[in-house]
Amino acid sequence: MTTDNTRLEPRQPEDFPDWRFDYLDIGYEEATRSFWMEYKATAPHCFPLDMFREIVAVRRSLLRLVESDKKGGWPIRYFVIASRRPGVFGLGGDLAVFAAAVRLRQSEPLRAHAEICVDIMHGLATAFGLPIVTLSAVHGQCLGAPSRAPSSPIS
């Protein structure tokens, strides 16, 4: 696994579409000019903070690609989010982490998740400031916020 700082680092335009991430697969579909970001089938059953960091790195990488001289080789019209987990799209935040932070009165983990989620959603809502369309390809059930069983009940 990569370190937190490495997760945020944009990938090099010349390596596209072979960018590597721990939780995400990246692809390009020439016929539709679509950039695909898919959650790996082996990704956790929820979105840990490190996965959110990788999503930010994907956005930074895409922006770097568009700004580079490699853009002409990769015309992008759509940014598609999908899941490779069979039958499931989207898995939500890690409720066990959230509950533990609340029980321990630790605001920093909650703040970190909130800030990065707002950053990601703003980027998607504004199409990263690019002339593209962002969308989700939902295959199967659209689920959110599953959790591991907490080690102790929430008081």
Contacts of 83 (CB under 8 A, 6+ apart): 38, 39, 89, 90, 139, 140
Structure-block tokens of residue 107:
């605001």
Residue carrying the six token digits 């390009």: 28
Position 22, amino acid: D
d(CA 109, CA 124): 23
State pLDDT tens for residues 2-14.
Answer: 555 566 789 999 9
What percent of the chain clears pLDDT 90, i.e. is strictly above it?
57
State pLDDT tens for residues 112-151.
Answer: 999 999 999 999 999 999 999 999 888 777 766 444 444 4
CB 17 within 8 A of CB 61: no
In the three-class reduction of DSSP (H, G, I as helix; E, B as strand; rest coil), residue 23 is classed as: coil
Structure-block tokens of residue 95:
């409720």
Whole-model pTM: value is 0.82
Domains parsed from the chain with CATH numbers: 4-142 (3.90.226.10)
pLDDT for position 36? 97
Residue carrying the six token digits 């700082």: 5
State pLDDT tens for residues 102-115.
Answer: 999 999 999 999 99
